[in-house]
Amino acid sequence: MNYFPDLPYAVGVVGAGSGIGRAVAGFLGRQGVSVACLDRNLAEAEKTARAVVADGGKAVAISIDVCDDSSLAPALDRMEQAFSRIHGVVNCAGITGHTNLKGHEVDMDDFDLVYRINLRGSMVLSKAVLPRMLAHNYGRLLHIASIAGKEGNAGMTAYSATKAGIIGLVKSLGKDYAETGITINALAPAVIHTPMVEALPKATADHIISKIPMRRCGELDEAAAMIAWIVSPACSFTTGFTFDLSGGRATY
């Protein structure tokens, strides 16, 4: 199915150097969307962009660090120079931080880092992107939260708390911009096959999968297809919402 009948259409994928972001960039490229592959790991973002181009798509790789406020405007400027517009942004930059820790064992430096990337990063990116979308009265902004933000994963306090924060963030931002043609949503995946998941201790990953009624991980293509639709013009009457992608784990 073609989600993007009216091209050109440009989407920035933050965290495009790996995992879900890389898969989304590839999916969007195959739909004819121009993709800015944004990541703090420029070498990996370049690999993603090269793969999109090799597949017949349009892509550029751009360095960004959502922890470094000063990196955002230049990165978005570069995207606008490359594609003239920013129709959509998908924010896949995120880390789990240290896991398998009870609350009293949490290292606050690690907690602060998870907060800076997952939650503050989502806010500072929104602040940087929204004026550029407002200029055209159109935009699609999607932050990747997690099932952990809805249900809380044991041993993942910082991750769960910051992902819950993203769910609250989009509820508020969605209402702020509801009359503008800009939608701001989140996606709450359960475990998806990615390097981040492979990096989790096996016990943590097994525990998470055991809670999924479909008894499997989600696949990258399943995440990419849903994300592409959410940032397409077709997804036009939903804002402030957290979409579910959890194999039946969260039915709310």
Provide the annotated active-site residues. 159
Q: With respect to ligand NAD, which residue has the nearer C-beta, 92 or 182?
A: 92
Q: With respect to ligand NAD, which residue has the nearer C-beta, 158 or 192?
A: 192
Smallest distance from ligand NAD to CB 217, Å: 7
Q: Whole-angstrom Cα distance, residue 100 to residue 98?
A: 7
Q: With respect to ligand NAD, which residue has the nearer C-beta, 10 or 66?
A: 66
Smallest distance from ligand NAD to CB 86, Å: 16
Q: With respect to ligand NAD, which residue has the nearer C-beta, 139 or 189?
A: 189
Residues that bind ligand NAD (CB under 6 A): 14-15, 17-21, 39-41, 44, 64-67, 92-95, 117, 121, 144, 146, 189, 191-192, 194-197
Q: With respect to ligand NAD, which residue has the nearer C-beta, 39 or 151?
A: 39
Smallest distance from ligand NAD to CB 64, Å: 5
Provide long-range contacts, Cβ within 8 A and 24+ apart, for 67-73: 67/40, 67/116, 67/117, 67/120, 67/121, 69/124, 72/124, 72/125, 72/128, 73/128
Q: Whole-angstrom Cα distance, residue 76 to residue 90?
A: 13
